[in-house]
Amino acid sequence: MWRDLAPLMNPRSVAIIGASQRSASALNREPRGNRVIRNLKSFGYPGQIVAVNPKYSEVMDYPCYPEISAIPVAVDCVVLAVPNRQVPDLLESAAASGVRAAVVFSAGFAEIGAEGKQRQARLEALSRDRGFLICGPNCYGVLNVFGKAPLFASTIPQGFLAGPVALVSQSGGLSTTIANALMLNRHVGLSHIVSCGNQAGATVEEYFNYLVEDENTRVIAGFVEGFKQPHQLLAVARKASERNKPLIILKGGRSEVSQRAAATHSGSLAGAAEVIDAAFRQSGVVSVRSINELIDAISVFSCDGFVKHYRGGRRIGVLSGSGGECTLVSDAAASVGLEVPELTEATKSHLQEAVADFGNMNNPLDGTGAMYDDEKIFPRLLQALIEDANIDVVTVNLEANDPRPKELKSGNRFAQAIETAAASSKKPIACFSSVVGGPVDPEILLPLRKAGVPLMEGAECATSTIRNLAEFYEFQESRRSDAAGDLRARGRKLASGMLPAQAAFQLLEEFGISATPMALAHSADEAAAVVERIGFPVALKIESAQITHKSDVGGVALNLSDTAAVRGAYNQMIADVSRRAPHAKLDGVVVQGMACEGVEMILGVKRDPLFGPVVLCGFGGILVELLKDVSIGIPPLSRQQAHDMLKRLRGFPILAGARGKPAADIEALCEAIAGLSRLAWTFGDQLAGLDINPVIVLPKGEGVVAVDALVEIQ
């Protein structure tokens, strides 16, 4: 169940602990407690404000009490601007007095070592055991714009722009950096800013859930270094998509996350960053890779006029006055999966008539110096892109952050033409500058924003943002029809350790993954008898819970085509393995029919420390760890999600039938991936790892066959 964050996010009464009558000086900044009171006052906070400090009876014209228990009125939330060593005792006292929430600015907790971790552990226990809501520690706090409740450590400037975007950031400094860039350089207003720091109490997932429910918020953005409730993240992301509220996340710390080594190949094929990417894709989270991309994504997703006209598609039209920029934006588009299509013949013909002697009939449209010299040319070029049937989104290279005097700039004149065209256009229009940084001209920015034309900075961020918009639209379109199928109830227990081969394959069969015929033999005679039942050719594989990679110790023999070869291979295998792995207990030899020729793949399950079991697929055989061409999904997976995983593989054309080879049975492989995901979901934390390597994908219509399987139960 989600906790109600109202006492923290929209408190009816606030007590500031650490406010004083000491004023700021040239050497000392204003005390943070005083700054909070000033912010509350300037915002017109409608609730009751009191201070706590044993030295005073009033602070900044508000009543002040010696301790929390002495406050005569009920307090929803306390704000602590005190040294870290005082925080745990003060919060426990607050909870005992009926306070339900707190904002803790102080640093010096889990981020500094053992002593700080002990302090934070007390806060976490208080939040967990008593439901006490804590923002922080090591944070800037909470700013509820429409609720006029700025429990925020930073000075809030006059003229704060209210709007539909909520920002959650673990970093306090970045929260204000991003917010200021949105308001000043994108004219994007905010409904909330949350700087949550160490997440000792309320987590980013809880803030996201609160904001999904908030009627003043239409777009939710976050800078996150670590998740505390990853499974709740998936749930809240799905809820956000159901309400058509984009959830845009910049995940920090991608290169520093370690991965768990396992006995299976799958344990070493992908780290946590790839798992988080998969989780984001499957739950509809818009994932960005930089602050600039985050700001541009927020700018576009919150621009109602633009989003209203977007109807899907990845084909962009580009208009620029620079041939070099046309080249760069084409490269940027190709790198993120956007198309820059040829213009229709009708458009080319129209351009010939409308713009005399205009030689460029390509997309991107290079207006050259002509569009600067003749004010009639730019509107005609823009209208041509708007009307072209091959284009989904029109983009215009516009220098809105040009520092030169107005009389030397063309951006203002072009912006007026864009504003005019947007008024009647049924196609979305967006602008992007050539460079990132510098103040944006408000005379350009504001009219365009009102006309439904968002501004982005730099071709790389602009193309990534349009790709993100396309992916979000595609996710929303597919969400209602994409189901993972029936899921079995959890609860069945498996014996710990490595499952014997037959048990492993029987488990796979339960979930729709077929294997070649097999049986366990304990002598050469038994092996020969098995062959009589299943037929030639066969493979022999040593059976031992202590031997993970059988071929390394001589435990595999392939393509045996007569009884004498089977007997000889059996005896030789027992001798070789006994010599190379003398401490291993040998349980016999598996006799298995050889699979027909096809594409070798690997399917697997690895354990992720955040999301638990995750499913991997990639090209298999002996090159699996060398190529590492793998894709990841979070169980349970639908057939469509399995297909999306396959399409992300670099080698996907091999499955589709490259170089004259027959197409592989991709549909059967998708069924196998979906079945494996149901297995992973069903047994959950019991699975330490699982490999099916290889699974042979036969030609289209003939299915898939698991050849070798390794299942480790914990």
Q: What is the mean pLDDT of residues 702-710?
A: 93
The one-character DSSP state at 654 is H
Are residues 144 and 9 in contact, defined by beta-carbon separation less than 8 angstroms? yes
Helix (H/G/I), strand (E/B), else coil: 614: strand
pLDDT of residue 258: 34
Q: State how far the alpha carbon of 324 is from the alpha carbons of 367, 368, 412, 461, 678, in Å.
A: 12, 10, 22, 17, 51
pTM recorded for the entire structure: 0.89
- The confidence band for 257, taking pLDDT boundaries of 50, 70 and 90, is very low
Q: Please give the full DSSP string across 540-553, using - where no structure is assigned.
A: EEE--TT-SSGGGG
pLDDT of residue 28: 57
d(CA 219, CA 245) in angstroms, rounded, equals: 5
Per-residue pLDDT tens over the stretch 203-219: 999 999 999 999 999 99
Q: What is the mean pLDDT of residues 348-366?
A: 81
pLDDT of residue 256: 45
pLDDT of residue 608: 87
Please check the confidence at residue 143 and state whether its pLDDT lies above 80: yes
pLDDT of residue 373: 84
Please check the confidence at residue 274 and state whether its pLDDT lies above 90: no
pLDDT of residue 622: 62
Whose tokens are 């009558």? That residue is 21
Are residues 591 and 519 in contact, defined by beta-carbon separation less than 8 angstroms? yes
The first and second tokens of residue 608, run together, are 């992720």
The first and second tokens of residue 60, run together, are 């900044």
Sequence-distant contacts of 502-511: CB under 8 A, at least 24 apart: 502/590, 503/711, 504/709, 504/710, 504/711, 505/706, 505/709, 507/679, 507/711, 508/675, 508/676, 508/679, 508/692, 508/706, 508/709, 510/679, 511/675, 511/676, 511/678, 511/679, 511/682
Q: What is the mean pLDDT of residues 487-500?
A: 79
Helix (H/G/I), strand (E/B), else coil: 389: coil
- How high does pLDDT run on average in the chain? 90
Instruction: Give the closest residue to 235 by CA, choosing from 490, 3, 2, 474.
Output: 2
Q: What is the mean pLDDT of residues 658-662?
A: 78
Are residues 386 and 425 in contact, defined by beta-carbon separation less than 8 angstroms? yes
Q: What is the mean pLDDT of residues 467-477?
A: 94
Q: What is the mean pLDDT of residues 455-482?
A: 91
Q: Which residue has the higher pLDDT, 419 or 371?
A: 419
Please check the confidence at residue 485 and state whether its pLDDT lies above 70: no
Terminal C-alpha separation, the chain? 29
d(CA 50, CA 668) in angstroms, rounded, equals: 66
6-26: buried (b, 16+ CB within 10 Å) or exposed (e) per residue?
bbbbbbebbbbbbbbeeeeee
Is the peptide bond between 137 and the residue preceding it cis, with omega within 30 degrees of 0? yes
Q: What is the mean pLDDT of residues 483-500?
A: 75
Per-residue pLDDT tens over the stretch 316-340: 999 999 999 999 999 999 999 999 9
Per-residue pLDDT tens over the stretch 604-628: 999 888 888 999 999 986 656 666 7
Please check the confidence at residue 269 and state whether its pLDDT lies above 60: no
pLDDT of residue 252: 87
pLDDT of residue 437: 85
Domains of the chain and any CATH numbers: 6-266 (3.40.50.720), 303-479 (3.40.50.261), 517-593 (3.30.1490.20), 599-713 (3.30.470.20)
CB atoms within 10 A of CB 203: 22
d(CA 145, CA 191) in angstroms, rounded, equals: 5
Per-residue pLDDT tens over the stretch 381-390: 999 999 999 9
Per-residue pLDDT tens over the stretch 516-571: 999 999 999 999 999 999 999 999 999 998 988 898 999 999 999 999 999 999 99
Are residues 614 and 278 in contact, defined by beta-carbon separation less than 8 angstroms? yes
Close Cβ partners of 349 (under 8 Å, ≥ 6 residues apart): none
Q: Is 706 exposed, middle or buried (0-12, 13-18, 19+ CB in 10 A)?
A: buried
CB atoms within 10 A of CB 137: 29
Are residues 91 and 105 in contact, defined by beta-carbon separation less than 8 angstroms? no
Element (H, E) at 479: helix 459-479
Q: What is the mean pLDDT of residues 169-193?
A: 95
Q: What is the mean pLDDT of residues 222-242?
A: 92
Q: Please give the full DSSP string across 66-89, using - where no structure is assigned.
A: SSGGG-SS--SEEEE-S-GGGHHH
Please check the confidence at residue 484 and state whether its pLDDT lies above 80: no
Are residues 149 and 40 in contact, defined by beta-carbon separation less than 8 angstroms? yes
pLDDT of residue 369: 81
pLDDT of residue 486: 62
Phi and psi at residue 285, to the nearest 5°:
-70, 135
pLDDT of residue 374: 84
- The confidence band for 112, taking pLDDT boundaries of 50, 70 and 90, is confident
- Chain-centre distance for alpha carbon 349: 44
- The confidence band for 58, taking pLDDT boundaries of 50, 70 and 90, is very high
Please check the confidence at residue 254 and state whether its pLDDT lies above 90: no
Q: By percentage, how much of the chain surpasses pLDDT 90?
A: 75
